[in-house]
Amino acid sequence: QTVVTQEPSLTVSPGGTVTLTCASSTGAVTSGYYPNWFQQKPGQPPRSLIYSTTDKHFWTPARFSGSLLGGKAALTLSGVQPEDEAHYYCLLYYGNANWVFGGGTKLTVL
């Protein structure tokens, strides 16, 4: 069974920079996994931030960026704002129309 692993929790200070990562039990994450990143706040549906590793939607704030880092997908927040406190989930594509979510990272802004 494929497992996608994220940091369970991270803490960052307002105005700081933090990088969340997303690893696959099958090996290095590449662009072929089309990494997607989502933000979810309590009581709300997830909101898509990044797709296909680095691409942003028109609604994605500029401080969010996606990349590949050391065999993992990564989401970097630069100049963190208090409203960025949320859960963040990655989603990887495993072919044949199969997707798998990571377990999520709870980001605290403190």
Partner 1 sequence: QIKLEQSGGEVKKPGASVKVSCKASGYSFTSYSISWVRQAPGQGLEWMGWVSAYKANTNYAQKFQGRVTMTTETSTNTAYMELRSLRSDDTAVYYCAREGWDLVDYWGQGTLVTVSS
Binding footprint of partner 1 on the chain (CB under 8 A): 1, 34, 36, 38, 40, 45-48, 51-52, 55, 57, 87, 89, 91, 93, 96-104
Length of the chain: 110
Burial of 49 (0-12, 13-18, 19+ CB in 10 A): buried
Task: For residues 65 and 83, give the distance between their C-alpha atoms in angstroms, rounded to a whole number.
Answer: 16
Least distance in angstroms from the C-beta of 67 to partner 1? 16
Work out the end-to-end distance of the chain between its first and last CA atoms, rounded to an integer number of angstroms.
36
Question: Would you say 91 or 109 has its CB closer to partner 1?
Answer: 91
Least distance in angstroms from the C-beta of 15 to partner 1? 28
Question: Would you say 17 or 26 has its CB closer to partner 1?
Answer: 26
Least distance in angstroms from the C-beta of 104 to partner 1? 4
Contact 76, 61 (CB under 8 A): no
Question: Would you say 47 or 65 has its CB closer to partner 1?
Answer: 47
